[in-house]
Amino acid sequence: MLENFKDKIQSLIEYLPPIPGVMNDLIKLLNAGNCDVREISDLIEKDPSLSVNILRIANSAFYGLPYKVSSLQQAVNLIGLKELASLCMFCSIGPALKPPAGMKTIDLKMFWRHSIATGIIAKIFCREFSIGVREDLYLAGLIHDIGKIIIDRSDHDVYSEVVRLTYDNNVSIGEAENKIIGESHSSIGSWLLEKWKLPRMFIETAAYHHSVRDASEEHRELVAVVSLADQIARLRGFGFGGDMRGTIINETEAFAIVRDGNPHVKDIDLAGFVMDLDRADSEISELEKIING
């Protein structure tokens, strides 16, 4: 195990680019949850590339809106204030974490693909099986693994070693991380999101998607759904990080928690659900295009 890796990571987080200005205001708004449509669209308009991205997402298959949206105000009205704010946040995270030119990194394209797939699968899962968690949970899916980027930024060779160990020894990524760096991407991700003062739901998803029981009661079900979606995305071939293990999904902690709140989930056709996820593919690639812009 590497000595002092934790200190290194923590100082890295100190030095990470601060949260972009617009985002900071948005997060305040997200946490408070009361402001009007004008206020938020004015805020977003200050950042032209953000505005463009928001309109593109609003018009994508992801929302399947009945007609084309051409102004931010319209988008806010249709998608809702909170959702839009979260969306902006997601759009800003990518650029905020962009590595300096020439730096060696993990395959960021695959990384975001996995994250997006997780978010979208979480959404589809809830819709299909009538699980009543908040509609914007997919945003939590989108940033659940953010800690991996931080570890990789701090030492790419070390993270490559983690991925290799995971694949070769058929162990979980958390196990490999603990063995090599003594910390997991879960805690590291949550430190960053805490520093950025994101709403609890995001911090907890990052922190507990591999140990769902530790989440607070308030957010446990949502974290569980994201955790399931994370597994399913991997098992659908949208994997990232070398984990190839088989999983008995309905014996996982996450599944048990979702089932506790939604007893009908016990009888769902899990094999069929995972096999038929082709329908998520176009949404995934559309969102991917926008994010990688």
Residues that bind another protein (CB under 8 A): 170, 231-232, 234-237, 239, 244-251, 269-272, 274-275
Smallest gap from Cβ 239 to another protein, in A, equals 7
Smallest gap from Cβ 278 to another protein, in A, equals 11
CA 213 – CA 237 distance, rounded (Å)? 26
Smallest gap from Cβ 257 to another protein, in A, equals 18
By beta-carbon proximity to another protein, the closer residue of 92 and 231 is 231
By beta-carbon proximity to another protein, the closer residue of 90 and 255 is 255
Smallest gap from Cβ 246 to another protein, in A, equals 4
Here the contacts of 219-223 (C-beta below 8 Å, separation 24 or greater) are 220/257, 221/131, 221/133, 221/257, 221/258, 221/261, 222/133, 222/134, 222/137, 222/140, 223/140, 223/254
By beta-carbon proximity to another protein, the closer residue of 72 and 232 is 232
> Could you give the dihedral angle defined by the CA atoms of residues 87, 41, 289 and 142, in that order, rounded to the nearest 10 degrees?
-10
CA 202 – CA 209 distance, rounded (Å)? 10
CA 15 – CA 227 distance, rounded (Å)? 29
Smallest gap from Cβ 267 to another protein, in A, equals 10
CA 200 – CA 134 distance, rounded (Å)? 14
Smallest gap from Cβ 120 to another protein, in A, equals 17
Distances (CA, A) of 257 to 124, 216, 265, 270: 18, 12, 10, 16
By beta-carbon proximity to another protein, the closer residue of 223 and 232 is 232
- What DSSP line would sit under 128-169, residue for residue? HTT--S-TTHHHHHHHTTHHHHHHHHH-HHHHHHHHHHHHHH
Smallest gap from Cβ 227 to another protein, in A, equals 14
By beta-carbon proximity to another protein, the closer residue of 98 and 245 is 245
Angle at 139 between CA 235 and CA 251, to 5 degrees: 35
By beta-carbon proximity to another protein, the closer residue of 63 and 273 is 273
By beta-carbon proximity to another protein, the closer residue of 153 and 234 is 234
- Going by C-alpha positions, the residue among 45, 49, 61 that lies closest to residue 288 is 61
